[in-house]
Every structure is written in structure tokens, then in C-alpha cells.
Chains A and B, each alone.
Chain A
């Protein structure tokens, strides 16, 4: 299964945009890129996903590189409630179940 790599931690000021990077250099053509975030003592929650094109939803935007070997989760205006661990994972679109392996994620700190 393809792996992803993310920085261990990032900091942002409140109301500023945040760009969280993810590298997935061994991604296959059928892998979707998913992002999740986890607050302390809770299960992760889905944020956004995409295949090739950039995606937007009410929570965030996802920018995918043209060669699909990296992607960036964009929080347009960080708030204190966005402080969490963010995970980037790959989900296979082939006929067999994907193992859906999580890395260590990026811990985002948001300060006033």
C-alpha cells in the first residue's frame, strides 16, 4: 500500500490561512487522497477527499499536484477549533479492500 508523509507539527495564527502538506510519491492512478482530523480523545472525522482535481467544501480545500505525488489541505481561516491532528491517507479504488493505513499526521497548533 502506498504511504504518505507529513510534517510532525505546524503552527498558525488565528484567522490566518493554513497549508498542510502531504507527500505520496508512490500513489497509484486509482488511489483517492483523503484527509481526516482528530481532536483529543475522539475518533478522527472526515474533512475532504479528491482524485485529480482540486476540491472545495465547507470545511477546507484540497489542492492536488498535477503529478498527484503531493497534496495540500488548505484551511482558509484557522480558528482555535481547528487545532487537531490532521491525517492524509490513500484509499484504493480497485476491486479489493484498501488497508487504509494512517501515518502519524500533522499536529496543528492555532494561537491567538
Chain B
């Protein structure tokens, strides 16, 4: 069954700890994206990757890091430098980084840092 898997669905961490959110896809899509959503707000772009071993900062990259070592995987690390890490994190893929193919989203990971 093709799709995007984000795990875990809920994640709890203590302040000062780094945490890595998983995003795996079997759609064979080239492009992958990470978005952050705060309550009642829209989606804000953190990082995106068009191809393996390449990624670019989005609008709010500070305090986050990513890697794209495999086409299927685009993990996001929320570091202790991120001032307000509690949020809903969404991973998305796209067949290519440009053009008319639509975004496909995972079901998200809700991160709570106390």
C-alpha cells in the first residue's frame, strides 16, 4: 500500500533534548518537505529536498536539521536550539520538486516538549 509514514503519532520530550521525527515514503517521489503547524495556524515550511543528498532551508529552519541519504527517508531533528518546539509536524512528498504534481501528506507527528 503506497503512502507516507510518519512515526510516532505522538511524541513527548523534555526540554533540552534533541528529538528526531521519522518520515518514510514508498511512492518513489523525488521531493520531500517538512512543515510545522501551530494551533489555529497554517503550515510553515521548515526544510525541503528535491533529490537525495540535497536539501534547502524553508521559512523557519532555525533550530532544525534534516538529512536525505535515501530517496525514501527524510528525517527531521528538532534540536535544543528550537525555542518553541511543541507543534504538529507534517511531512509531504511530491513526484518532482516542480510542476503540476500534487503534494501528498503524512498524518503528522504531534510533538510536546515540557
| Chain A residues near B (Cβ < 8 Å) | 32, 34, 36, 41-46, 49, 51, 85, 87, 91-105
Q: Inside 8 A of A87's CB, which chain B residues have their CB?
A: 42-43
Are A92 and B102 within 8 A (Cβ)?
Answer: no
Q: Per a CB cutoff under 8 Å, which of A46, A85, A97 touches B103? A: A46
Q: Is B111 an interface residue when CB atoms closer than 8 A count as contact?
A: no
Are A51 and B106 within 8 A (Cβ)?
Answer: no
A83 vs B110: C-alpha distance in the bound complex, in angstroms? 22
Additional pairs, 13, CB under 8 Å, beyond known A41-B108, A92-B98, A97-B31 = A32-B100, A34-B103, A42-B107, A43-B105, A44-B103, A44-B105, A85-B42, A91-B100, A95-B98, A96-B50, A99-B58, A101-B45, A102-B45
Q: Inside 8 A of B56's CB, which chain A residues have their CB?
A: 97, 99
B71-113 interface mask toward A, CB cutoff 8 Å, 1 = contact, 0 = none?
0000000000000000010101010011110111111101000
Are A104 and B103 within 8 A (Cβ)?
Answer: no
The prevalent SS among residues of A at the interface is loop
Q: Inside 8 A of A41's CB, which chain B residues have their CB?
A: 88, 108, 110
Given A87-B43, A105-B42, CB of A49 within 8 Å of CB of B102: yes
| Chain B residues near A (Cβ < 8 Å) | 31, 33, 35, 41-45, 48, 50, 56, 58-59, 88, 90, 92, 94, 97-100, 102-108, 110
**What are 28 inter-chain pairs, A to B, with CB distance below 8 A?**
A34-B102, A34-B103, A36-B103, A41-B108, A41-B110, A42-B107, A42-B108, A43-B106, A44-B43, A46-B102, A46-B103, A49-B100, A49-B102, A87-B42, A92-B98, A93-B99, A96-B97, A96-B98, A97-B48, A97-B50, A97-B56, A97-B97, A97-B98, A98-B97, A99-B58, A100-B45, A102-B35, A102-B42
